[in-house]
A and B are shown apart, each in its own frame.
Chain A
Amino acid sequence: MNAWLNRYIGAPALFGLMGLALVLVGVLQSWSLALTIAIYCVIGAIMALGLNVQWGYAGLFNVGLMGFAALGGIAAVLVSMPPTTEAWQAGGSGIITSVLLSLATLAVALLVYKRMRRGRARMWTMVVILLGGYLVTRQFFDPAVELIEAVNPAATGYLGGAGLPIMLSWVVGGLFAAGAAWLIGKITLGLRSDYLAIATLGIAEIILSVLRFEEWLTRGVNNVNGLPRPLPQEIDLQQTAWVQEWALRLGTTVPDLASITVKLGYLGLALGVLLLFWLAQSAIHSPWGRMMRAIRDNETAAEAMGKDVTGRHLQVFVLGSAIIGVAGAMLVTIDGQFTPNAYNPLRFTFLIWVMVIVGGSGNNLGAILGGFLIWFFWVQAEPIGLWFMDVVTGTLPAESWLRAHLLEGAAHIRLMVMGMILLLVLRFRPHGLIPERSVRPHSLRR
Chain B
Amino acid sequence: MEDILNALALLTNFVLLPAAAYGSQLALGALGVTLVYGILRFSNFAHGDTMAFGTMIAILFTWWLQAQGVNLGFLPTALLAIPFAVLATVAFMLLCDRWVYRYHRVKKAPAVVFLICSVGVMFLLNGIVRFVIGPGEQHFADGERFIFTVVQFREFTGLEQGVSFRSSQALTLVSALLIVVALFWFLERTRTGKSMRAYSDNENLALLSGINPDRVVLITWVLAAALATVAGVLYGLDKGFRPFTYFQLLLPIFAAAIVGGLGSPLGAIAGGFIVAFSEVLLTYAWRRVFEYLGPEGWAPEGLMQLLSTDYKFAVSFVILVLVLLIRPTGLFGGKSV
Q: Choose one: B115, B116, B313; the contact of A205 (CB below 8 Å).
A: B313
A412 near B311: Cβ-Cβ < 8 Å: no
A412 near B112: Cβ-Cβ < 8 Å: no
A201 near B250: Cβ-Cβ < 8 Å: yes
Chain A interface residue count, CB cutoff 8 Å, equals 49
Interchain nearest-CB distance for A428 vs B (Å): 10
B324 near A191: Cβ-Cβ < 8 Å: yes
Task: Answer yes or no: A409 CB below 8 A from chain B CBs.
Answer: yes
Task: Answer yes or no: A273 CB below 8 A from chain B CBs.
Answer: no
B255 near A198: Cβ-Cβ < 8 Å: yes
Task: Answer yes or no: B288 CB below 8 A from chain A CBs.
Answer: no
Given A194-B43, A415-B127, A353-B310 contact (CB < 8 Å):
no
Task: Answer yes or no: A101 CB below 8 A from chain B CBs.
Answer: no
Chain B residues within 8 Å of A197, by CB? 43, 45, 115
A345 near B112: Cβ-Cβ < 8 Å: no
Given A416-B127, A444-B109, A209-B311 contact (CB < 8 Å):
yes
Give the docked Cα–Cα distance between A197 and B316 (Å): 15
Q: Choose one: A191, A202, A427; the contact of B328 (CB below 8 Å).
A: A191
Within 8 A of B (CB), among A133-154: 134, 142
**Chain A residue with minimal CB distance to B42?**
A194
Task: Answer yes or no: B219 CB below 8 A from chain A CBs.
Answer: no
Task: Answer yes or no: A188 CB below 8 A from chain B CBs.
Answer: yes
Task: Tell me which of A172-180, A301-309, A363-371, A417-425 binds B.
Answer: A417-425
Chain A residues within 8 Å of B248, by CB? 205
A195 near B112: Cβ-Cβ < 8 Å: no
Task: Answer yes or no: B10 CB below 8 A from chain A CBs.
Answer: no
Interchain nearest-CB distance for A123 vs B (Å): 9
Interchain nearest-CB distance for B242 vs A (Å): 13
Mark A337-352 against chain B: 1 for CB-CB distance below 8 A, else 0.
Answer: 0000000011000100
Task: Answer yes or no: B182 CB below 8 A from chain A CBs.
Answer: no
**Chain B residue with minimal CB distance to A193?**
B112
A423 near B124: Cβ-Cβ < 8 Å: yes
Chain B residues within 8 Å of A116, by CB? none
Task: Answer yes or no: B128 CB below 8 A from chain A CBs.
Answer: yes
A202 near B317: Cβ-Cβ < 8 Å: yes
A446 near B254: Cβ-Cβ < 8 Å: no
Chain A residues within 8 Å of B321, by CB? 187-188, 199
B258 near A195: Cβ-Cβ < 8 Å: yes
Give the docked Cα–Cα distance between A212 and B336 (Å): 36
Give the docked Cα–Cα distance between A345 and B122 (Å): 12
Give the docked Cα–Cα distance between A420 and B157 (Å): 59
Give the docked Cα–Cα distance between A191 and B328 (Å): 8
Task: Answer yes or no: B130 CB below 8 A from chain A CBs.
Answer: yes
Task: Answer yes or no: B65 CB below 8 A from chain A CBs.
Answer: no
Give the docked Cα–Cα distance between A213 and B116 (Å): 31
Chain B residues within 8 Å of A134, by CB? 306
A202 near B117: Cβ-Cβ < 8 Å: no
Give the docked Cα–Cα distance between A187 and B42 (Å): 22
Give the docked Cα–Cα distance between A206 and B135 (Å): 23
Within 8 A of B (CB), among A395-426: 408-409, 412-420, 422-423, 426
Chain A residues within 8 Å of B297, by CB? none
**Chain A residue with minimal CB distance to B323?**
A195
Q: Choose one: B103, B115, B131, B132; the contact of A427 (CB below 8 Å).
A: B103
Interchain nearest-CB distance for B311 vs A (Å): 6
Chain A residues within 8 Å of B336, by CB? 192
A419 near B313: Cβ-Cβ < 8 Å: no
Give the docked Cα–Cα distance between A205 and B244 (Å): 13
Task: Answer yes or no: B72 CB below 8 A from chain A CBs.
Answer: no
B310 near A202: Cβ-Cβ < 8 Å: no
Chain A residues within 8 Å of B132, by CB? 409
Task: Answer yes or no: A355 CB below 8 A from chain B CBs.
Answer: no
Task: Answer yes or no: B320 CB below 8 A from chain A CBs.
Answer: yes
Interchain nearest-CB distance for A99 vs B (Å): 18
Task: Answer yes or no: A203 CB below 8 A from chain B CBs.
Answer: yes
Within 8 A of A (CB), among B190-235: none
A61 near B112: Cβ-Cβ < 8 Å: yes
B250 near A419: Cβ-Cβ < 8 Å: no
Mark B106-136 against chain A: 1 for CB-CB distance below 8 A, else 0.
Answer: 0001111101110111111111101110110
Within 8 A of B (CB), among A48-98: 59, 61, 63
Task: Answer yes or no: B314 CB below 8 A from chain A CBs.
Answer: yes
Give the docked Cα–Cα distance between A416 and B112 (Å): 21
**Chain A residue with minimal CB distance to B135?**
A412
Q: Choose one: A187, A213, A423; the contact of B121 (CB below 8 Å).
A: A423
Give the docked Cα–Cα distance between A95 and B111 (Å): 46
Interchain nearest-CB distance for B284 vs A (Å): 16
Q: Choose one: A212, A213, A408, A422; the contact of B120 (CB below 8 Å).
A: A422
Q: Choose one: A191, A192, A409; the contact of B134 (CB below 8 Å).
A: A409
With A188-B321, A430-B113 given, can you name 19 additional A-B contacts, CB distance below 8 Å?
A63-B45, A191-B324, A192-B336, A194-B337, A202-B313, A202-B320, A205-B251, A205-B313, A205-B317, A209-B311, A213-B311, A409-B131, A419-B121, A419-B124, A419-B126, A420-B120, A420-B124, A426-B104, A426-B113
Q: Can you list the 9 inter-chain pairs with the closest CB atoms, starting with the nearest? A: A415-B127, A419-B123, A419-B124, A416-B127, A202-B317, A422-B120, A412-B130, A423-B120, A213-B310
